[in-house]
Chain A
Amino acid sequence: MPGTVQAIERAAAILRTLAGGPGRLGLSEIARTLDLAKGTTHGILRTLQLVGFVEQDRNSGQYQLGGALLHLGTSYLDINELRSRSINWADPLAARSGESVRIGTVLEGRVLVVHHVFRPDDTFQTLDVGTLLPLHATALGKVLLAYRAGGATAAPGELERFTRKTLTEPKPLASALEGVREAGWAVEIEEMTLGQAAIAAPIRGYGGLVVGAIGISGPVERLCDSRYRPHPHLITNVRDAARAVSRDLGAAR
């Protein structure tokens, strides 16, 4: 009979400890509880963090169960279901903003476009559904990164540069994501394509879990004022649409 894998046993014990604990736990607390060396515990925690089963609080450094763990079983949302449930709200967003709408979710470290509504000007456009976009250089991606839908994120140092404005360093990206979490929406100004901007907001499912992002994109001069700030009414449009989809998906707020 093949033997058991000790590291997996230990990982399971760590998850049980976090699940049974009062909230967040520090590294030494976890190590002491399970009588493990700190180094071993840290290695396992980092791995669990990478797959999204554990999250680390940025300020205190303490650990808690991660969002991806909640995805297991109950709240996994099929991408075609996400499209089907958003379609009624993506159309009004395109009509009100006058811009094209995309809905994205995370697939293997990138944004997968699951739904696309054309800019309502009847010009020739091609459906983008199935296209993969970079997480760090798009408004949709930054929303998904900020709330870590799907767990694992691109490792630092691998961030591709598309324009001079692309955030390729971990620090500025991390603070941008902090800003997204605070504001509840993300913006992208010429970070992916020169002259193009985008605004996106999170789509939440049961329990408030972020399952995707919805956003509009178009020329900078249409989406932003002369000081490169996105027009408030467009932000409102995007956030209203995101909330409407979230409500249909069963999110509490």
Chain B
Amino acid sequence: MTERYVVAIDQGTTSTRCIVFDRRGQLVSLAQQEHKQHFPKPGWVEHDAMEIWRNVERLAPRVLRRAGIGLDQVAALGIANQRETTVIWDRDTGVPVGRAVIWQDTRTDGLVHELSARPGAKELEERSGLPLATYFSGPRLKWTLDHTPGLRERAERGEVLCGTMETWLIWNLTGGLHVTDVTNASRTMLLDVRTLGWSPESLAFFGIPAAMLPEVRPSVGVFGTATAAFPGVRIGAALGDQQAALFGQTCFTPGEAKCTYGTGSFLLLNTGPELVRSENGLLSTVAYRIAGEPAAYALEGSIAITGSLVQWFRDQLELISSAPEIETLARTVADNGGCYIVPAFSGLYAPYWRSEARGVIVGLTSYITKGHLARAVLEATAWQTREVVDAMNANSGLALRTLKVDGGMTADNLLMQMIANVLDVPLVRPLAVETVSLGAAYAAGLAVGHWPDLDGLRRNWHIAGQWLPAMDPGVRATEYANWRRAVERTFDWIQPTS
């Protein structure tokens, strides 16, 4: 019998990857293509959705060739994608009406400020499980409909469609299927997280015509069969990237949590079939839904800027030539020299949710070298994790015992040690760094019977590395206090306009 494989598409913020996984969940081949980041104005971030689709078409044959396999050996295709990013396109031509607006984009600053004062804002947050913030799709869709002449009317007539990135990819893969998965839908502010259907009240709040929205489907279950890129292959799953990582880390039991370190970092805790509300700045979101079963929910602590701070350090300050060199530079000094960087580039996410905050570098003296700055860059990720973990602990009443980590930044040993130090719990890395893709593959394989059940997937999980805390408690307390003082200095930087 010829060996069968599962392919995952990870449509991320900076690049799109296709990965082939074997039955043990191990990576067989990988192909990756970055796409252009458009920054038309300060705070605006856009992608060309067509460029991203063309990349998928190009990556598909490449990744199969590298694995030495044919399409007939692909059991299923799974999709994981950057969440909240929205694209609007013409139903007839399939051409986007503008660039995709990215989750980091803060153009809706003023709009969100205004909307939060309107009647019904509280109920909207209650229904969606999310705070009104620039991060989510709803305000973004409203903004685009408000600022593009004639677009709302065309949407009402069903001439234009909208979706998050998995919707866009499935539309193109299948030649016109307009669907979304429930995890991605739960990030729009338009979904009622209890009923898992679009909320007419939320649509009315934003003035978004229901005709332009995709049909909401379970995350794990056959969506359709691809006719392009992977023709003939069944699309078995679609999940938001962070939910996919939770699935890839096999956090199937309530109480299990993971943190993925990428462009941003996202800590998700499985809360099971119960929707748990947070009073500590965490999001209530859908973890996954297997077709025919009730949904599993999660509490999420979202950090907007972690890996992208390292990228900024590389591309904008040009102090390093590759991202991993941040560790080399940070190791040239023993500590941060009293310097702290709070990367509130798109405001602050969890647990603060301050859209008006902007980044600061504090504690500058003539003593500070680029080595200290590099350390402050890494420490920013560590302290932001600490804040989210504190919120998680306060919410669940249980103290986190170990943290499962994944994502590209787990290659940074100094950072992993720092996080273990500031959390005062061990960090564990599984034998698969690419858990986002792995989760999409697992979900897709599960949908078509390539893997029998969740327990089978869990048996593939092994510890590949562990970092134990080693930090003086006094130093930890002092540094945390300094960090929090630095965070306070980012507040209220952007003054409300209009």
Residue numbers of A with Cβ under 8 A of B are: 78-81, 83-85, 87-89, 91-92, 94-96, 116-118, 120-122, 125-127, 129-130
Residue numbers of B with Cβ under 8 A of A are: 24, 26-28, 30, 322-328, 408, 410-413, 431-434, 462-467
Are B27 and A122 interface neighbours, CB within 8 A? no
Give the interface centre of A80, A91, A92 by most chain B CB atoms within 10 Å: A80
Are A129 and B464 interface neighbours, CB within 8 A? no
27 A-B contact pairs sorted by A residue (CB < 8 Å): A78-B322, A78-B325, A79-B328, A80-B324, A80-B327, A80-B328, A80-B411, A83-B324, A84-B324, A84-B411, A88-B27, A88-B30, A88-B433, A92-B26, A95-B24, A95-B462, A118-B431, A118-B462, A118-B466, A120-B463, A120-B464, A121-B462, A122-B462, A122-B463, A125-B463, A126-B466, A127-B466
Are B328 and A91 interface neighbours, CB within 8 A? no
Are B324 and A78 interface neighbours, CB within 8 A? yes
Are A91 and B325 interface neighbours, CB within 8 A? no
The answer to whether residues A91 and B466 also contact, given A80-B327, A80-B328, A80-B412 and a CB cut-off of 8 A, is no
Query: What is the CA–CA distance of A79 and B411 in the complex, to the nearest angstrom?
Result: 11
Cross-interface CB contact of A81 among B28, B325, B410, B431, cutoff 8 Å: B325
- Residues on B with beta carbons closer than 8 Å to the beta carbon of A80: 324-328, 411-413
Are B413 and A129 interface neighbours, CB within 8 A? yes
The answer to whether residues A120 and B462 also contact, given A78-B325, A81-B324 and a CB cut-off of 8 A, is yes
Are B324 and A91 interface neighbours, CB within 8 A? no
Chain A proximity of B128: nearest CB distance (Å): 36
- Residues on B with beta carbons closer than 8 Å to the beta carbon of A89: 27
Are B465 and A118 interface neighbours, CB within 8 A? yes
Query: What is the CA–CA distance of A17 and B27 in the complex, to the nearest angstrom?
Result: 48
- Residues on A with beta carbons closer than 8 Å to the beta carbon of B328: 78-80
- Residues on B with beta carbons closer than 8 Å to the beta carbon of A122: 462-463
Give the interface centre of B325, B431, B466, B467 by most chain A CB atoms within 10 Å: B431
The answer to whether residues A81 and B322 also contact, given A88-B433, A91-B433, A120-B431 and a CB cut-off of 8 A, is yes
- Residues on B with beta carbons closer than 8 Å to the beta carbon of A88: 27, 30, 433-434
The answer to whether residues A96 and B434 also contact, given A80-B328, A117-B465 and a CB cut-off of 8 A, is no
Chain A proximity of B34: nearest CB distance (Å): 15
The answer to whether residues A116 and B327 also contact, given A88-B433, A91-B27 and a CB cut-off of 8 A, is no
Are A118 and B463 interface neighbours, CB within 8 A? yes
Closest residue on chain B to residue A90 by CB atoms: B464
Query: What is the CA–CA distance of A83 and B416 in the complex, to the nearest angstrom?
Result: 14
Are A87 and B433 interface neighbours, CB within 8 A? yes
Closest residue on chain A to residue B27 by CB atoms: A92
Query: What is the CA–CA distance of A81 and B408 in the complex, to the nearest angstrom?
Result: 12
Query: What is the CA–CA distance of A79 and B30 in the complex, to the nearest angstrom?
Result: 22
Query: What is the CA–CA distance of A88 and B21 in the complex, to the nearest angstrom?
Result: 12
Chain A proximity of B57: nearest CB distance (Å): 22
Query: What is the CA–CA distance of A175 and B412 in the complex, to the nearest angstrom?
Result: 38
Closest residue on chain B to residue A115 by CB atoms: B411
Cross-interface CB contact of B26 among A95, A117, A129, cutoff 8 Å: A95
Query: What is the CA–CA distance of A83 and B326 in the complex, to the nearest angstrom?
Result: 13
The answer to whether residues A127 and B465 also contact, given A91-B27, A94-B431 and a CB cut-off of 8 A, is yes
Query: What is the CA–CA distance of A202 and B325 in the complex, to the nearest angstrom?
Result: 22
Query: What is the CA–CA distance of A85 and B26 in the complex, to the nearest angstrom?
Result: 17
Are B408 and A84 interface neighbours, CB within 8 A? yes
Query: What is the CA–CA distance of A35 and B310 in the complex, to the nearest angstrom?
Result: 54
Are A91 and B464 interface neighbours, CB within 8 A? yes
Are B466 and A87 interface neighbours, CB within 8 A? no
Query: What is the CA–CA distance of A121 and B464 in the complex, to the nearest angstrom?
Result: 9
Are B324 and A125 interface neighbours, CB within 8 A? no
Closest residue on chain A to residue B413 by CB atoms: A129
Query: What is the CA–CA distance of A93 and B252 in the complex, to the nearest angstrom?
Result: 26
Cross-interface CB contact of B432 among A84, A91, A96, cutoff 8 Å: A91
Chain A proximity of B46: nearest CB distance (Å): 28
